[in-house]
Amino acid sequence: MITIITPAFNVIDSITKTYISVMKQKNAEFEYIIMDGQSTDGSVKVYENWANNPKFKYSVEKDKGLYDAMNMGVKMASGDYIIFLGAGDEFASDTVLENVEACASKTCADIIYGYVIFCYGNKKKKIYKRMIDRTYSLRADPVSHQAVFSKRELLEKYPFDLKYKIAADQDWIMKMYKKRKKFQYIDIAISNYDMGGISATEEGREKGKVELHEIHRKYYPVQYMAHDVMRKIKRALTK
């Protein structure tokens, strides 16, 4: 079974879209969990309307932010694999979970991932693909967690580091890569990623870059130095 977790706070305008997308999934065993950080906008009443759905459950509890809510959601999960979707995100098709289940049964991978489609308020869309391959330790490109299915046992053993406010998911992915966990890529769009979240703002991107550099340097200091030199050369050539 697959667990989908959405950390939420005052998301009354966007959560229904995500809920409907999850419930449209075909030919797959799944559960959907919303971890609400004590919303004040009426979101909880919306969850209450869905409470009779056996595939759905929710928790309303104060948290210390996004990644704390995600850690708390893992503790409630029953699925073999877990994916985190933000409020406003949608699965890219109604067969995503079916395809992931088929991949899991064939490969028994620790982490299965595809790609996301960035969706902007002006209806502009952009395909975002990043690979976790032999060059990943040099590039350290961020892989959207909205495209990643991870074994629950790994998320239980290695919770997200709350030190990071924007890139704790990237810290987790790099940690799993460093520990040589088995990654399996499937070439399908996993989700439509709503670019209205904090990590997509200019301030969020800048904070995320700082955290990503720190994370890269922590796990792969030599590769980080090499990549940093290449960045500086590229900047110099484009001036």
Query: What integer is the mean pLDDT of 123-139?
Result: 92
Alpha carbon of residue 217 to chain centroid: 22
pLDDT tens-digit readout, 21-66:
999 999 999 999 999 999 999 999 999 999 999 999 999 999 999 9
pLDDT tens-digit readout, 111-125:
999 999 999 877 889
Strands (E) across the chain are located at 2-8, 30-36, 56-60, 81-84, 90-91, 111-119, 125-128, 148-151, 183-194
Read off the DSSP letter of residue 182.
-
Average per-residue pLDDT for the chain: 94
pLDDT tens-digit readout, 146-185:
999 999 999 999 999 999 999 999 999 999 999 999 999 9
Query: What integer is the mean pLDDT of 3-17?
Result: 97
pLDDT tens-digit readout, 175-188:
999 999 999 999 99
pTM above 0.75, yes or no: yes
At residue 182, the pLDDT reads 98
Region of 212 (left: φ > 0; alpha: ψ -120 to 50; beta: rest) is alpha
CA angle 66, 70, 72 (to 5 degrees): 115
Domain count, the chain: 1
pLDDT tens-digit readout, 189-206:
999 999 876 555 677 788
Indicate the pLDDT class of residue 230, thresholds 50, 70 and 90.
confident
Checking DSSP bridges between strand 56-60 and strand 183-194, what pairing results, if any?
A: unpaired
For residue 65, which amino acid is it?
G
Q: What is the CATH number of the domain that holds 234?
A: 3.90.550.10
At residue 237, the pLDDT reads 79
Residue 199 buriedness (CB in 10 A; 0-12 / 13-18 / 19+): buried
Question: Under 8 Å CB-to-CB from 67, ≥6 apart: which residues?
Answer: 160, 161, 162, 164, 165, 168, 169
Alpha carbon of residue 89 to chain centroid: 10
How far, in Å, CA of 128 to CA of 117, rounded? 6
- Structural domain including 66 reads 2-238
At residue 198, the pLDDT reads 57
